[in-house]
């Protein structure tokens, strides 16, 4: 691809502390999480996590981070979410709005961190999440990432860059000591930058159990005292009963959701070219971190004379290598896809998996089955890619995904499963997502 994803800083080694800061999820934040899960469903969402502190990081054993609010920035797909300035639901004006909504951020009494969901998957730190924790951790005094899911599991890590200083006393003894020299005593001092990482002890505060409303009690009393009750009482009672279990959030929060959803939809309609997903480079002072441009494969395709179906695997690999400027392309896509479709496969992983898709198409009998397969397929492709290529980055994965999708499109197949996979990959690659 002609726009490559770059890490904010070159990776520095991790230094994990045993200390566990306490992270408190307030009832207000829990309601926002539950509301988003119900509203968004099996798609990932992410945002700035507004927090305050009890004590400070200098008192690790007494340090508590109180998570109070979500400033929503993205509503993604089943497998991805992420945001960067001036893309999707996080425009430059939203930064101004963020600081106007939470003036304590400028005062320093509150801080902006990060939250995203893994919806119906397990809450864990994937390779991509670790990468983002690193990138934002090295730019902050400290950075907190909170990951949640449908099951109510919440995990969090704190990261910050530090200089690790150590000193050692070294003794050098002469190996050929014919003159009886005493050993040389040397004080060895070492200093290096590390990313300090701590797991957090997450506590979800429970809101005090609400009593049945006084109005509901009054209506119940009326029922016991009178033989006839006005219809309006029944209507009011049913309304109270039907809404008492609903998750309630502030109007400003639901309005923010609508704004983000609208902004993302408008951007998807405005651009038909592919944009490489970016990091969450916020806050920054450099303005836009990327631009919408025609990918190389669009211009290269106009020059291409040989059809994909006529190419050998080597020719396909060379084509995508030249088009994208990436070492990750169609061969890697075949390997990952074959492993996802058949984990027991030990050979021929580098061959096209197209026959497996044809077989699967015949076994999928409903839209529900198709939808479930697509969600699992995209997630498993990402997880398998990270397992097979642990040193690769998100841009490498997207290059691989792009090559695979281009190959599928070249088949001009009427196979509904292949068409659905193409649409799902288009959703992933045409959005600015960088979390999973």
217 sits in which H/E element: helix 214-225
Cβ-proximal residues to 27 (8 Å cutoff; 6+ apart), any chain: 205, 206, 207
User: Given this model, what pLDDT does residue 197 score?
Assistant: 94
| Average pLDDT of the segment spanning 381-388 | 82
What is the tens place of the pLDDT at every residue in 304-346? 444 444 555 555 555 545 554 446 778 888 888 888 888 777 6
| Average pLDDT of the segment spanning 414-422 | 81
Question: 2: which 2 tokens?
Answer: 């002609």
Flag whether pLDDT at 415 surpasses 50: yes
Cβ-proximal residues to 118 (8 Å cutoff; 6+ apart), any chain: 44, 124, 147, 148, 149, 436
C-alpha–C-alpha distance, residues 190 and 167, integer Å: 6
Cβ-proximal residues to 198 (8 Å cutoff; 6+ apart), any chain: 16, 17, 19, 20, 21, 60, 157, 158, 159
Distance of alpha carbon 321 from the chain centroid? 27
Q: Order of strands, edge to edge, in the sheet holding 14-17?
A: 14-17, 184-199, 154-172, 143-148, 111-117, 45-54, 64-75, 22-25, 201-204
Flag whether pLDDT at 139 surpasses 90: no
Q: What is the pTM of this model?
A: 0.57
Beta-bridged to residue 192, according to DSSP, are 164
**For 112, phi and psi rounded to 5 degrees?**
-105, 120
Which of 298, 263, 422 is closest to 354 using CA atoms? 422
Average pLDDT, the chain: 76
Torsion angle of C-alpha atoms 287, 289, 293, 295, degrees rounded to 10: 180
Question: 296: which 2 tokens?
Answer: 């190389």
Highest mean pLDDT (candidates 214-218, 233-237, 274-278, 376-380): 376-380
Residue 54 contacts residue 63 (beta carbons within 8 Å): yes
Which residue is associated with the tokens 């480079």?
281
Which of 323, 339, 320 is closest to 389 using CA atoms? 339
What is the tens place of the pLDDT at every residue in 205-249? 987 555 445 555 666 666 666 656 565 655 665 655 555 556 788
Q: Which domains does the chain have, with CATH numbers?
A: 1-161+197-207+247-293 (3.40.140.10), 214-243 (no CATH), 295-429 (no CATH)
Which of 426, 339, 332, 411 is closest to 374 using CA atoms? 426
C-alpha–C-alpha distance, residues 259 and 73, integer Å: 10
Q: Helix or strand or coil: residue 76?
A: coil
What is the tens place of the pLDDT at every residue in 224-234? 666 565 656 55
Distance of alpha carbon 334 from the chain centroid? 24
């Amino acid at each position: 691809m002609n726009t490559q994803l770059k890490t904010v800083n070159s990776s520095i080694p991790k230094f994990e502390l045993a200390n566990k800061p306490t992270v408190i999820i307030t009832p207000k934040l829990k309601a926002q999480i539950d509301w988003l899960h119900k509203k968004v469903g099996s798609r990932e969402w992410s945002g700035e996590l507004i927090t305050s502190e009890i004590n400070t990081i200098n008192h690790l054993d007494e340090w508590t981070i109180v998570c109070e609010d979500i400033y929503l920035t993205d509503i993604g797909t089943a497998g991805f979410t992420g945001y960067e300035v001036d893309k999707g639901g996080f425009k430059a004006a939203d930064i101004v709005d963020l600081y106007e909504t939470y003036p304590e951020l400028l005062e320093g009494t509150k801080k902006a961190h990060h939250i995203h969901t893994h919806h119906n998957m397990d809450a864990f730190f994937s390779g991509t999440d670790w990468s983002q924790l690193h990138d934002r951790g090295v730019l902050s005094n400290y950075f907190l990432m909170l990951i949640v899911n449908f099951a109510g599991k919440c995990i969090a890590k704190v990261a910050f860059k530090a200089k690790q200083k150590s000193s050692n006393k070294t003794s050098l003894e002469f190996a050929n000591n014919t003159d009886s020299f005493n050993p040389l005593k040397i004080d060895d001092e070492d200093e290096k930058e590390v990313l300090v990482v701590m797991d957090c002890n997450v506590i979800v505060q429970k809101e005090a159990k609400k009593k049945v409303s006084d109005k509901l009690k009054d209506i119940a009393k009326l029922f016991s005292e009178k033989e006839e009750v006005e219809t309006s009482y029944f209507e009011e009672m049913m309304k109270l009963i039907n809404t008492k279990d609903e998750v309630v959030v502030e109007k400003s929060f639901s309005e923010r959701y609508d704004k983000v959803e609208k902004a993302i939809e408008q951007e998807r309609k405005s651009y038909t070219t592919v944009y490489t997903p970016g990091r969450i480079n916020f806050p920054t002072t450099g303005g836009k971190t990327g631009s919408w441009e025609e990918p190389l494969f669009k211009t290269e395709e106009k020059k291409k004379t040989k059809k994909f179906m006529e190419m050998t695997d080597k020719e396909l690999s060379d084509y995508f290598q030249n088009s994208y400027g990436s070492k990750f392309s169609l061969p890697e896509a075949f390997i990952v896809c074959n492993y996802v479709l058949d984990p027991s496969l030990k050979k021929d992983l580098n061959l096209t998996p197209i026959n497996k898709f044809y077989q699967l198409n015949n076994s999928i009998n409903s839209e529900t089955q198709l939808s479930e397969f697509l969600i699992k397929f995209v997630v498993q492709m990402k997880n398998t890619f990270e397992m097979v290529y642990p040193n690769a980055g998100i841009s490498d994965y997207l290059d691989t995904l792009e090559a695979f999708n281009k190959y599928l499109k070249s088949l001009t197949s009427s196979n509904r499963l292949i068409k659905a996979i193409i649409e799902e990959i288009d959703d992933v690659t045409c959005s600015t997502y960088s979390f999973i």
